[in-house]
Amino acid sequence: MHRNHFARIGVTDEQARARVQEAFDTIFFDPKEKFYHEVDADSACMEDTGNHDARTEGMSYGMMMAVQMNRKDIFDKLWCFSERYMLLKEGRHQGYFAWSCQLNGKHNAEGPAPDGEEYFAMALFMAASRWGNGTGLYNYTQQARTILRHCVHQHEMIPTGQPMWDPANHYIRFVPDTLYTDPSYHLPHFYELFADRADPCDRSFWLEAARASRAFIASSAHPKTGMSAEYTEYDGTTRLQFGKYYAYYSDAYRVAMNIALDTLWNGRNEALSAVVTRLQDFFAPIAQQDFMAYQLDGTPTDEPAMHPVAITAVLGAASIASDSVHADEWLRRFWNEPLRKGPRRYYDNCLYFFCLMMLSGLYKVY
């Protein structure tokens, strides 16, 4: 078990563990608030309650939650749904997963989103370490290696295919066919583990991806506010798209969470600690109900934040790495924040759970 960071504000290990279990039970079992749904006798999905679909993001998040909480039954049902309904079995995206489908498995899209693949692979590797490999679909190590082989070598395996990581700079792409990225997709703490567990021939690739991603996260964050854009060019400049005129919005919140987990698993990185320090300092005087969408320099727009609970959660997690004088204040604000209710609870509560686990010392490497 890692350190219980909530102890800094007087929360005992027992209280922290109980809060994690309560959050897990709400997400998966509460009749009104859950967004885990069984579909077939052997499969289940995680619903994006704001869009009423199942996404590779949420499916892989659910698998990571299940392996951390030692729920192989839930893990296997989520993985079964993902492979049965979302895995693309032909065409230039063969081996990737359709990023969105209906709750009955019918596709809403025929392309992938790389944040799903990287979480799928990491959750599968951890399942193999925690529970051992089975056969076929449940040979977790083999399944994870196959996913990452496509992610790195798709352009070599399929003539019209594109890899999820750019071969030139080792950056994860927003989608395989684009030449730009999403800072919140960069998970150097996962890549360190991929270097040991994926195909041995790709060890150097993953080690370089970890180094490149840490440098990119630090350089692309705003030098005063610590904010990262949702989407950026490879040089770190903001890329506005999907009709948005603001940069710091939903995807971007995850950067602070990722820095916190990298620090928890791999130790402090001064440049990344500086990012979350600036971020906590910027948001300290702002009440949650006043969170907005922002330009990276901190200029607020007239667009309210869609996921204010997620912002509070990641700023709480940032206390793992931050040097801000407000670090303990953010621990208190997060500890006192309940899970979100209502139609937008899916994204907020996924980030909430991960941040709660890491601050409680329960988010482990298996």
Q: What is the pLDDT of residues 17-26, one digit of tens each?
A: 999 999 999 9
Q: Is 253 exposed, middle or buried (0-12, 13-18, 19+ CB in 10 A)?
A: buried
Count of domains in the chain?
2
What is the SS3 assignment for 358? Answer: helix
Distance CA(363)–CA(366), nearest Å, equals: 9
Q: Which residues contact 169 (CB under 8 A, 6 or more apart)?
A: 212, 234
Instruction: Kindly state whether residues 308 and 178 are assigned to the same domain.
Output: no
- Residue linked to tokens 């989608």: 175
Question: Tell me, what CATH number does 149's domain have?
Answer: 1.50.10.10
Could you tell me the sign of the dihedral formed by the alpha carbons of 213, 215, 217, 220, in that order? negative
Instruction: Please give the Cα distance from 164 to 159 (Å, whole number).
Output: 15
**Cα 85 from Cα 79, distance rounded (Å):** 10
Instruction: Report d(CA 319, CA 111) in Å as an integer.
Output: 36
Choose one of 204, 220, 236: the last residue of a domain. Answer: 220
Does residue 227 share a domain with residue 306?
A: yes
Same domain flag for 48 and 184: yes
Q: What is the Cα Rg of the chain in Å?
A: 19
Dihedral angle at the C-alpha atoms of 331, 253, 225, 209, nearest 10 degrees? 110
Same-domain check for residues 44 and 139: yes
Told to judge if 251 belongs to the known catalytic residues of this protein, a careful annotator would answer yes
Residue type, 295: Q
What integer is the mean pLDDT of 306-325? 98
Q: Verify that 42 and 128 share a domain, yes or no.
A: yes
- pLDDT category at 154 given cuts 50, 70, 90 is very high
Same domain as 214, residue 158 = yes
Considering 220, 242, 264, which residue would you say is the last residue of a domain?
220
Strands (E), the chain: 36-40, 43-48, 53-55, 100-101, 292-294, 300-304
- Span 131-154, mean pLDDT? 98
Out of 57, 115, 182, 281, pick the active-site residue. Answer: 57
Sign of CA dihedral 358, 361, 365, 366: negative
From 161, 195, 220, the end of a domain falls on 220
Q: pTM of the full predicted structure?
A: 0.98
The residue type found at 85 is: Y
- Residues 29-82 pLDDT 10s: 999 999 999 999 999 999 999 999 999 999 999 999 999 999 999 999 999 999
Could you give the C-alpha distances from 301 to 245, 292, 314, 363, in angstroms and in order? 9, 7, 21, 35
The parent domain of residue 90 ranges over: 36-220
Note the pLDDT of residue 227: 98
269 and 195 in a common domain: no
Whether residue 264 has pLDDT greater than 80: yes
Q: What is the pLDDT of residues 201-218, one digit of tens each?
A: 999 999 999 999 999 999
Q: Are residues 72 and 214 in the same domain?
A: yes
Interval 178-202: pLDDT, tens: 999 999 999 999 999 999 999 999 9
- What percentage of the chain carries pLDDT values higher than 70? 100
The DSSP letter of residue 171 is P
Sign of CA dihedral 214, 215, 218, 221: negative
156 is catalytic: no
Same structural domain, 43 and 177: yes
Please write the tens of the pLDDT for every residue from 80-129: 999 999 999 999 999 999 999 999 999 999 999 999 999 999 999 999 99
The three-state secondary structure class of 115 is helix
Around Cβ 133, how many Cβ atoms within 10 Å?
14
Catalytic residue among 53, 251, 262, 281: 251
Judge if 1 and 78 occupy the same domain. Answer: no
Whether residue 238 sits in one domain with residue 181: no
| pLDDT single digits (tens) 217-263 | 999 999 999 999 999 999 999 999 999 999 999 999 999 999 999 99
Residues 216 and 226 placed together within one structural domain of the fold: no
Q: With pLDDT > 90 as the criterion, what percentage of the chain qualifies?
A: 99
**Rounded average pLDDT over 152-164:** 97
If 0-12 CB within 10 Å is exposed, 13-18 middle and 19+ buried, where does residue 20 land? buried
Please say if the pLDDT value at position 1 is more than 90.
Answer: no
